[in-house]
Amino acid sequence: MSALLEIRDLHAWYGASQALHGVTLGLARGEVLALVGRNGSGRSTLARAIMGLVRSEGELRFAGRSLAGLRTFEIARLGLGYVAEHRDVFAALSVHENLLLGISPRKRTPRFTLDDAYALFPVLAERRHTRAGALSGGEQQMLALARALLGDPDLLLIDEPGEGLASGVMEQVAGCLRTLRERGVAMLLIEQRLVIAREIASRVAVMGHGEIVFDGALDAFLGRDDVMREWLGVG
């Protein structure tokens, strides 16, 4: 698999507070990588740095192109999708209007259409004229994910996809992610645990104190009780 995302010696700050300390990580085309760690370990900051949402220094390359100096919408147009932890739907707009805003301007036949979005999440079709702010948390997560896939991403950054979701809703989200993987979309799944990623990811990276402290195959990670205890508080 060829390199899609390349991160080398990445540092990031919130004001004067440094959150990332020399992160180096790569992601291949079509690969699903789970990024795990405790709260405050830097996982969400890494996603925000990739999307140009925080001040950072270091090398960020996507499909061979440097992301340095690009604005967030320019990064998105290259083929990166981002589903933030807090969903960030447009509350005053309807479900359908939110989805229309996600449609990619990229000039190629899209892998995902509005019909796909509604088929993956039937509840969105039922509530297409409902204001997004009136949806439940689980429905907003589905909407944010559906809107991101309509951007026709080659890489999707998803922050805590199962956070606060009931088991039935979580399975729908997991089903959508499996479909994305089958259609060749690479994913960086940010999770505190491996609730959804166990089914989908082939590789795991662990963050601690703003650094990558483990990077390896899922099976190798599951055999590392020491890593789980020290960096995830498991075991």
Confidence of residue 17 (pLDDT cuts 50, 70, 90): very high
Spatial distance between the Cα atoms of 63 and 27, rounded to a whole number of angstroms: 10
> Which is nearest to 143 in space by CA: 99, 91, 93, 84?
99
Tokens matching residue 21: 């300390």
3-state secondary structure of 197: helix
pLDDT at 106 over 80: no
Confidence of residue 110 (pLDDT cuts 50, 70, 90): confident
Confidence of residue 172 (pLDDT cuts 50, 70, 90): confident
What does the pLDDT read at residue 56?
A: 97
What does the pLDDT read at residue 235?
A: 59
Task: Identify the DSSP state of 27.
Answer: E
pLDDT at 159 over 70: yes
What does the pLDDT read at residue 129?
A: 97
Do 201 and 32 touch, CB atoms closer than 8 A? yes
pLDDT in tens, 51-73: 999 999 999 999 999 999 999 99
pLDDT at 199 over 80: yes
pLDDT at 193 over 90: no
pTM of the model: 0.92
> Which is nearest to 95 in space by CA: 71, 122, 74?
122
DSSP H/E element including 124? helix 122-126
3-state secondary structure of 82: strand
> Which is nearest to 181 in space by CA: 159, 194, 162, 200?
200
**For 3-232, which CATH superfamily applies?**
P-loop containing nucleotide triphosphate hydrolases (3.40.50.300)
Confidence of residue 203 (pLDDT cuts 50, 70, 90): very high
Ordered by start, the domain boundaries in the chain are 3-232
pLDDT in tens, 70-102: 999 999 999 999 998 877 899 999 999 999 999
Confidence of residue 227 (pLDDT cuts 50, 70, 90): very high
More confident residue, 45 or 175: 45
Q: What is the mean pLDDT of residues 139-163?
A: 90
